[in-house]
Structure 1
């Protein structure tokens, strides 16, 4: 069990928010702590964007709550109706779930305290909430800034390790059904996390380029890393759906098994090349050339011509494998271009 930077920053931002409230005599300080927890995001840009969104939604939430306290009874029914109204407006503004939750906390903080219907009371509660939000942004920006490249590549490696196991055993069908399903679920989960991380990464490049400059060529390489993982997953899906219904023979099994093994080795080699663990001048020793692809498809087509009725599905598998090889070729070219520019 490890303590991640985000958990550590959340704890520090809560502590700082509480101290600020105590210093200025703002009560109850617990609302600042709640706001700090809700506002901590995985990137600086998302924390900044959320701070602006929170400022807007908390402002109208506080105003609506104060008007409700002034002109309506403070009954549970009234509070519920006001909350529904605030949620509808937040959804109309396309706010995220945690922003809506924090706005609800602001409304409840104002409406559930009897005898405090003036503007100063509402301003007090609003200020406390904003202290928590701003503290979270400040801590996220200054303390342990997110290391996007390291996090992203770590997730690439996690996804590849699972993909490698599944593709290497897909044709031979060596894994038990339970193990196969567990690893496939792990691959899907890893790929989804990778897509989310790339989205964060791309947002940071686009919105925070001046504060946190990122290498555009490297981002293109990262995008291609994601494409190769997704295409590898697509190969697994096609094999599962079509391959074992194609009445394959030993020759075809060996053809696919060996070619997929070669592609996985290339995939692994390209990742090692990105890490700088292999010599760039020796990169041609493990690669995907056009002759190999041509020979692979020729063998498939010859088998199809001999038995077209039973070999239609296997062509679909071959096309998917070919696309995986193509994405790996593109990954290698983009990687070579990036590494040459980096060395120069």
Structure 2
């Protein structure tokens, strides 16, 4: 059994500690509410924490209004609390405030559980302060403790997904893997790509952050990562096309099958080289790379020529693969240009 404590878990614990210290210092009751708010408010990035606070202000405003109306019109009976919670959730969702629904419910329940002294201005301020302290504690900890290196994390995910797709593009044409293994690898690859795309959305949110050093370099890398993910998607599309159609093409025409296998191998190597070039592990000669790309273009043209005059059955199997190869080659060519541009800017900055 693996027991892994990540930075976000540590930060959540520290946010709870900070929350309890502040509420103790001020002397507020119901510290549990503030602690829960801190846990709910911990976000995967600084900008998402900032956006969360803005959303909390609006959603808790809605919650406050409905909680007060509920107390005045319906009282603090459990059934009344339930009705107010249902209405406020519906309104929050309608306003697109989905992320803070749980915190809004917490605010409403906290406000409607009135003390024997009834609801006063001081009572409302104290209850709202509990939520505010929890949310702000989570934000402060997120900014100061273990600020995530999103670029490093995202590139590691891209690299892992890329290695997986490269592996599949090597084994599928040679048919060296059983069908159950292939399906398992497919599912794992798809999960990796989807996880990478989701994490890209987090790093993309950081574009407007004030906490980024070397912002221009960050923005350039964001563009490169976006194209790397597009390449991953195109590679996965090619993998699916090969799995579905290559056996049929082998039966129809071994010549066309050999042409496709050769092209897939060349494009796969091209993909690996671009990633290595981005990591500064290899230096690809521009002229030699032009020759290699020209050779790939010739092979693609040969494949298109082979398609011309073919019957409908051959088109059904050949076209999806040919289309996937062309789209992947186009994305790789574009990615290479961005990586070379980054390399040139790095050299000019270093004065080389």
TM (norm. structure 2) is 0.89
Give me the whole-angstrom Cα distance separating, in 1, the residues matched to 2:287 and 2:293: 12
Q: Is the 8 A contact 1:40 1:140 kept in 2?
A: yes
State the partner residue of 1:2: 4
Shift of 1:209: 5.1
Specify the alignment match of 2:121 in structure 1. 119
Poorly superposed stretches of 4+, deviation over 6 Å: none
Give the 3 Å change call, closer, same or farther, for CA 337–23 of structure 1 in structure 2: same
The 3 A distance-change label for structure 1 pair 284 and 10 is farther
- Does the 8 Å contact 1:269/1:286 carry over to 2? no
Unmatched runs of 5 consecutive residues or more in structure 1: none
From 19, 30, 41, the equivalent of 1:39 is: 41
1:140 paired residue number: 142
2:228 to 222, 225, 228: 225
What SS class does the counterpart of residue 174 from structure 2 fall into?
Answer: coil
| Whole-angstrom CA distance in 2 between matches of 1:29 and 1:214 | 43
Is contact 1:110-1:122 (8 Å) kept?
yes
- Cα gap change, 1:340 to 1:209, in 2 (>3 Å): farther
- After superposition, the C-alpha distances for 1:92-145 in whole angstroms (9 at most, x for unaligned) are 221123x10111011112223452432322221110110010011111112221
8 Å CA contact retained: 1:55, 1:130: no
Aligned twin of 1:189: 191
Verify: 1:329 aligned to 2:330, yes or no. Answer: no
Q: In 2, Cα distance between the equivalents of 1:327 and 1:4?
A: 35
TM-aligned CA deviation for residue 7 of structure 1? 1.5
Give 1:232 deviation, angstroms: 0.5
Q: Where in structure 2 are the equivalents of 1:198-213 lying within 5 Å?
A: 198-205=200-207, 207-208=208-209, 211-212=212-213, 213=215
Return 99-108 or 285-294, whichever deviates more.
Answer: 285-294
User: What number of residue pairs does the alignment pair up?
Assistant: 341
Q: Is the 8 A contact 1:266 1:286 kept in 2?
A: no
Query: Which residue is 1:52 aligned to?
Result: 54
- 1:182-241 per-residue CA deviation (whole Å, 9 max, x = no partner) reads 111112111112112222222211x21575525232222111111110110111222234
Q: Deviations over 1:245-265 (max 9, x none)?
A: 443433333222222122112
- Match for 1:63 among 62, 65, 88? 65
Displacement, 1:279?
Answer: 2.6
Alignment check: 8 A CA contact 2:259 2:299 kept: no
SS at 1:41 equivalent: coil
Distance in 1 between the 2:312 and 2:104 partners? 62
The residue aligned with 1:100 is 101
Distance in 2 (CA, whole Å) between partners of 1:267 and 1:2 is 33
Distance 1:233 1:180, change over 3 A: same
**Length-normalised TM-score, structure 1:** 0.91
- Residue matched to 2:242: 239
| Residues in 2 aligned to 1:299 and 1:110: alpha-carbon distance in whole angstroms | 70
| Mapped partners of 2:202, 2:328: distance in 1 | 25
Cα 1:172–1:22 shift into 2, 3 Å: same
Inter-CA distance 248–32: structure 2 relative to 1 (3 Å threshold)? farther
- RMSD of aligned C-alpha atoms? 2.2
Kept in 1: contact 2:76–2:114 (CA 8 A): no
Query: Offset at 1:287?
Result: 7.4
Aligned in 2, Cα 1:61/1:287: closer, same or farther, shift over 3 Å? farther
Maintained 8 Å contact 1:155/1:194: yes
Distance 1:62 1:303, change over 3 A: closer
Q: Secondary structure at the match of 1:171?
A: helix
